[in-house]
Amino acid sequence: MPEMKKLYEIGNRPREIFLSPDGETPTRRSRVPFTRRHWLKWRSRYNPKSLKLEKRLEDKKPLWWMLSLGLLLLVTPFLGNSALTVASIFCMFAAINVLWTLIIGTAGIFSLATLAVVGVSGYAAAAFNVYLGVPWPFMFVIGCLTGLVAGGVLALPSTRLDGLYFALLTLGIVEICRVFVQQLKSLGATNGSINQVDSFIPSDWFLQREGLLLGFFGAFALLLGALLLFKLVNSERLGMLLQTARDEEAFAEAIGIDYRRARLMVFMISSAGLGIIGAFYAMYYRSISPSIFSLDQLLLLFAMIVIGGIGRADGAVLGTAIVVLIDKGLLDLGPVRILIVAAIMLLVTLLTNNGLVGAREQFRNYRNRKKSEARARRTEKGGEVMPEEATDMPDKQEIFYRRFNKRLRDELKLLITPELIEEHRRKPLGRHSDALSRVLNYFRRSEMPDKYAILRQPENFNHYKIVALSGERGAPPRLVDDRLYESIDEAYHAVFLLRVNDLLES
């Protein structure tokens, strides 16, 4: 077998990941335990050029996830204390945003009460811990249950109200929570916050290096859990049902998908998840204050998912990273950093279709459009079929016929000279030079519609006019012009000139 030639590195190929398996042994892909999913999306195919078997990684996103999360996990423990706090906050907010993406993207419920669910569960968990002495591991359970209940209460109006109406209503609910907590008499002394919450971080480690590290690992585990939940809901049965129902609800209902129930399920599941995050939040800070219900905090969180792109987990995490880095990492800038966030939010919304993660796809579409526009400008048409119309033609033979015809015409145009015309004028019939007979042959073969013909005038034997045939049975020919030709040779030449004219114009 000859040695394979080196393939030119053009197109996307250099950026793809390929394995070259042995063609004799069957490929084996390991599965995720207890499921039918594979870890990575390898696809085998034969390279059309070299005819060698190769395995291509179709979806490189898992690698990017591994890389970025692994880097975060490895690098963060060696950073300073403030950077460690920023990383922990990032993990926490990213977890919230991933679950929020589940609500807005997968379930399609435009809820702005996400932080309210987190806050309510955090308050419930903290209150149970501080006032009833429930030990901290059970705070997660309490948070989860509270989240579930809060989700259920929120879901109640979501079945009646649609889209933006529900979003505005949830905005009001957030405000209620804030006012309610601030005005609870029992919390009056602490301005509405619950302090001294027990935590998974031992109290003598709190705000120390060990405590911060433990907090970061906890937040990281939370983020992983949120991503896992996202994967389980979004790309398994529930997510599939909702994806089917996304565009055509009536159709989905007709084929037996109860999309309302699926939506509520997703909403409740994410709310329960948010409840766990709420309990974690209270434990991480060892206190919880009404600022979690503030409009500014909500807007900042909304800015995160908007910048990243609504509906995708990577968008939620990316947006969170950007906003948290600006908001918590550049504390020296003061109020300017919120301005930067607002400016990014504005630019992203004005310029992209779906946040930063959608920008790549959008750019590709834009580039393809520009490419095809440029191609259309480059190709002189001249009767040749454009790639765009070629797809619409049922008879592909037609495409090749028209291409041949165009080349032929280009060739013939070069043959038309004053001498050639003069030759025809002198002798319209009989033996001609090679060039003239080629041109005439082409004219003779042309299609029937609009073919010229000579009509002898009935009143006078030697008078001729030129007509153009309609090409349709029953439809009479039309008169080309009113000129009267005195001899048949003159008429022949006139027809020739008309055709040459048409040829040069085409």
What residues make contact with another protein under the rule CB under 8 A? 110, 156-157, 160-165, 167-169, 171-173, 175-176, 179-180, 183, 295-296, 299-300, 302-303, 306, 334-336, 338-339, 341-343, 345-346, 349-350, 353
Least distance CB 157 / another protein (angstroms): 5
Cβ(131)–Cβ(188) below 8 Å: no
Beta carbons within 8 Å of 1's beta carbon, 6+ residues apart: none
Question: For tokens 């030759």, what's the residue?
Answer: 423
Residue 339 or 475 having the CB closest to another protein: 339
Least distance CB 211 / another protein (angstroms): 32
CA distance 144 to 269: 10
Least distance CB 425 / another protein (angstroms): 59
The CB density around residue 152, as the number of other CB atoms within 10 Å, is 14
| Secondary structure letter of residue 17 according to DSSP | -
Residue 71 or 342 having the CB closest to another protein: 342
Residue 270 or 352 having the CB closest to another protein: 352
H or E element that contains 43: strand 42-46
Structure tokens at 21: 């398996």
H or E element that contains 468: strand 464-468
Cβ(169)–Cβ(159) below 8 Å: no
Cβ(220)–Cβ(212) below 8 Å: no
Residue 297 or 470 having the CB closest to another protein: 297
Task: State how beta strands 464-468 and 478-479 pair.
Answer: antiparallel
Least distance CB 101 / another protein (angstroms): 14
Q: In terms of C-beta density within 10 A (0-12 exposed, 13-18 middle, 19 or more buried), how is residue 463 classed?
A: middle
Question: For the chain, how big is the Rg over CA atoms in Å?
Answer: 37
Least distance CB 337 / another protein (angstroms): 9
Residue 302 or 496 having the CB closest to another protein: 302
Least distance CB 55 / another protein (angstroms): 38
Residue 138 or 363 having the CB closest to another protein: 363
Least distance CB 165 / another protein (angstroms): 6
Residue 323 or 385 having the CB closest to another protein: 323
Least distance CB 351 / another protein (angstroms): 9
Residue 190 or 462 having the CB closest to another protein: 190
CA distance 101 to 313: 7
Cβ(312)–Cβ(357) below 8 Å: yes
| Secondary structure letter of residue 456 according to DSSP | E
Cβ(390)–Cβ(372) below 8 Å: no
Least distance CB 149 / another protein (angstroms): 16
Residue 201 or 357 having the CB closest to another protein: 357
Find the DSSP H helices in 183-236. 209-234
The CB density around residue 231, as the number of other CB atoms within 10 Å, is 14
